[in-house]
Amino acid sequence: MRVILASASPRRRELLEAAGLLFEVVVSPAEEIHDPAIPLAELCELNAGLKASAVAAEHGDALVIGADTLVWIDGEPLGKPRDLDEARAMLRKLGGRSHTVCTGVCAIFPGGRRESFHELTEVRFRPLDDELITAYFGKTNPLDKAGAYGIQDSGEMIVEGIDGAFDNVMGLPVAKVVEVVGKAG
3-state SS class at 152? coil
Q: Is 17 helix (H, G, I), strand (E, B) or coil?
A: helix
Beta bridge partners of 64: 4, 108
CA atoms within 13 A on the CB side of 122: 4
Would you please indicate which residues are annotated as catalytic (active-site) residues? 68
Number of neighbours of residue 10 by Cβ within 10 angstroms: 11
Q: In the chain, where does DSSP find H-type helix?
A: 10-18, 40-56, 84-94, 130-137, 166-170, 174-184
- The H or E element containing residue 107 is strand 98-108
Distance between CA atoms of 180 and 185, rounded to whole angstroms?
9
CB-based contacts of 14, cutoff 8 Å, min separation 6: none
Among candidate residues 176, 172, 128, 175, the one with its CA nearest the CA of residue 154: 128
